[in-house]
């Protein structure tokens, strides 16, 4: 029997904090295969893109460009320690391919002084594409067959820009085609982003990469999703607010759904739905699910 897929997800702080990316690359290289990896934007990239959009809408195009420059500098700063000179040159080309169209959207917003939800998604989606370009290049330089995958090529959503809902049947059909190229590779997949049926870029809502990871796991019938993060697990309270907060050993899907529903930042509100479905299909009891996050650093 073929071994089952694993899905790893790395968030902004694992990828964007100085010094952590090499550890992420080691974790991926050493992971069981087949493995698919979902990444979100580096550090505060998404917030900076949001600021760029707001500045452009207020007519502050110089400020908007400055935010975009921050995005580029952070990406280059994280890339320099992990890429060769040749790889870095290629990565600069990747950055241009992602950011030049964003600059054009910002100029349009400045002209009209209006940023529609659709334009905003055309800006916000850039961060995840940058992460995918960086991580897949760095892996290939380490002889790990990282394959850059733009989730927009298979994740189809409605046109509720900014918080789009996945269309499961259309997504599954496109996924079956896209995943044919994945054999023998480690696909590195953009979290958070998708496309409408007629091709407009959408986003799944803030922290949406967790949701991308869980529904990708469901499409792959994966054995597990591991959300690598910088805390020890799902905590009894926010450790920044409550000193005695400690990680919980286990959390049922129902409890996790509840946490997501009540808006803990831990989970995007839809994250827990796909694995709960997988679990039910596999006939497992509801109440013995691992908490599902691991400490990366
Ligand atoms: N980059 C997006 C955000 O900041 C998605 C994510 O981090 O999961 O919300
Ligand atoms: Mg995040």
Q: Whose CA is nearest to atom 1 of ligand 1?
A: 41
If one compares 83 and 292, the residue with the highest pLDDT of the two is 83
Q: Where residue 288 falls among pLDDT bands split at 50, 70, 90? A: very low
Mean pLDDT of 209-238: 88
Give the distance (Å) from ligand 2 centre to CA of residue 111.
31
Convert the pLDDT of each residue in 45-87 to its tens digit. Answer: 999 999 999 999 999 999 999 999 999 999 999 999 999 999 9
Q: Is the pLDDT of residue 104 over 90?
A: yes
Q: Is the pLDDT of residue 222 over 90?
A: yes
pLDDT recorded at residue 196: 98
Distance CA 173, CA 156 (A): 10
* 179 DSSP assignment: G
Q: Is the pLDDT of residue 272 over 90?
A: no
pLDDT recorded at residue 294: 63
Q: Is the pLDDT of residue 179 over 80?
A: yes
88-90-92-95 Cα dihedral, nearest 10 degrees: -130
Q: Whose CA is nearest to atom 9 of ligand 1?
A: 206
- Helix/strand/coil (H, E, C) string of 67-127? HHHHHHHHHHHHHCCCCCHHHHHHHHHHHHHHHHHHHHHHHHHHHHCCCCHHHHHHHHCHH
**What would the two tokens of residue 15 be?**
């990828």
Query: In this structure, how many other beta carbons lie within 10 angstroms of the beta carbon of residue 75?
Result: 28
Q: Kindly list the domain boundaries of the chain, sorted by start residue.
A: 6-295
| Residue 211, SS3 per DSSP | helix
Q: Is the pLDDT of residue 273 over 90?
A: no
User: Ligand 1 within 6 A of 207 CB?
Assistant: yes
The distance from CA 100 to its chain's CA centroid, rounded to whole angstroms, is: 21
Distance CA 294, CA 229 (A): 6
| Residue 227, SS3 per DSSP | strand
* For the CA of 49, the nearest ligand: 1
Mean pLDDT of 83-110: 98
Q: Is the pLDDT of residue 232 over 70?
A: no
Give the distance (Å) from ligand 2 centre to CA of residue 201.
19
Short-list 131, 102, 121, CA closest to 43 = 131
pLDDT recorded at residue 265: 61
* For the CA of 208, the nearest ligand: 1
User: Ligand 1 within 6 A of 191 CB?
Assistant: yes
pLDDT recorded at residue 254: 77
Give the distance (Å) from ligand 1 centre to CA of residue 220.
22
User: Ligand 1 within 6 A of 41 CB?
Assistant: yes
Q: Is the pLDDT of residue 19 over 80?
A: yes
Percent composition of the chain: helix, strand, coil (DSSP 3-state, to 5): 50, 15, 35
Give the distance (Å) from ligand 2 centre to CA of residue 274.
19
Q: Where residue 234 falls among pLDDT bands split at 50, 70, 90? A: confident
Q: Where residue 269 falls among pLDDT bands split at 50, 70, 90? A: low
* 62 DSSP assignment: H
E strand or H helix that includes residue 188: strand 186-190
Q: Whose CA is nearest to atom 5 of ligand 1?
A: 207
Give the distance (Å) from ligand 1 centre to CA of residue 40.
6
Mean pLDDT of 40-48: 98
Q: Is the pLDDT of residue 287 over 60?
A: no
pLDDT recorded at residue 204: 97
Distance CA 123, CA 99 (A): 9
Distance CA 212, CA 285 (A): 24
Asked, as a colleague might, if the bond just before 34 is cis with ω within 30 of 0, I would say yes
Q: Where residue 250 falls among pLDDT bands split at 50, 70, 90? A: confident
**What would the two tokens of residue 294 be?**
């691991």
**Which of the residue ranges 10-14, 41-45, 183-187, 266-270 would you say has the lowest mean pLDDT?**
266-270
The angle subtended at Cα 86 by Cα 80 and Cα 91, nearest 5°, is 60
Q: Is the pLDDT of residue 105 over 90?
A: yes
Residues across the chain = 297
pTM of the full structure: 0.89
Q: Where residue 237 falls among pLDDT bands split at 50, 70, 90? A: confident
pLDDT recorded at residue 142: 98
Convert the pLDDT of each residue in 130-168 to its tens digit. Answer: 999 999 999 999 999 999 999 999 999 999 999 999 999
Query: In this structure, how many other beta carbons lie within 10 angstroms of the beta carbon of residue 118?
Result: 15
pLDDT recorded at residue 170: 98
> Please, what's the largest Cα pairwise distance for the chain?
59
Identify the CATH number of the domain defined by range 6-295. 3.40.1160.10
């Amino acid at each position: 029997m073929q071994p089952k897929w694993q899905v790893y997800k790395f968030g902004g702080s694992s990828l964007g904090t100085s010094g952590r990316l090499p550890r992420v690359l080691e974790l991926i290289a050493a992971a069981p295969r087949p493995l698919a990896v979902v990444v979100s934007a580096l550090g505060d990239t998404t917030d900076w893109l949001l600021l760029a959009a707001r500045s452009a809408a207020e007519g502050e195009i110089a400020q908007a460009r400055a935010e975009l420059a921050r995005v580029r500098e952070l990406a280059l700063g994280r890339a320099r320690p992990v890429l060769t000179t040749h790889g870095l040159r290629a990565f600069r080309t990747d950055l241009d391919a992602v950011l030049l169209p964003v600059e054009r959207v910002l100029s349009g917003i400045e002209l009209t002084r209006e940023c529609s939800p659709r334009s905003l998604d055309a800006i916000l989606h850039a961060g995840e594409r940058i992460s995918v370009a960086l991580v897949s290049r760095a892996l290939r330089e380490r002889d790990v067959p990282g394959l850059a995958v733009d989730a927009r090529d298979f994740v189809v959503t409605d046109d509720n820009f900014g918080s789009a809902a996945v269309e499961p049947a259309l997504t599954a059909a496109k996924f079956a085609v896209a995943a044919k190229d994945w054999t023998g590779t480690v696909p590195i997949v953009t979290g958070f982003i998708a496309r409408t049926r007629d091709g407009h870029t959408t986003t799944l809502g803030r922290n949406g990469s967790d949701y991308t990871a869980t529904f990708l796991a469901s499409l792959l019938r994966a054995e597990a999703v591991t959300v690598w993060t910088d805390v020890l697990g799902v905590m009894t309270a926010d450790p920044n607010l409550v000193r005695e907060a400690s990680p919980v050993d286990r959390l049922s899907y129902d409890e996790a759904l509840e946490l997501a529903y009540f808006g803990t930042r831990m989970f995007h509100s839809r994250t827990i739905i796909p694995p709960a479905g997988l679990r039910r299909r596999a006939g497992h009891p509801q109440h013995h699910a691992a908490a599902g996050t691991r400490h990366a650093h």
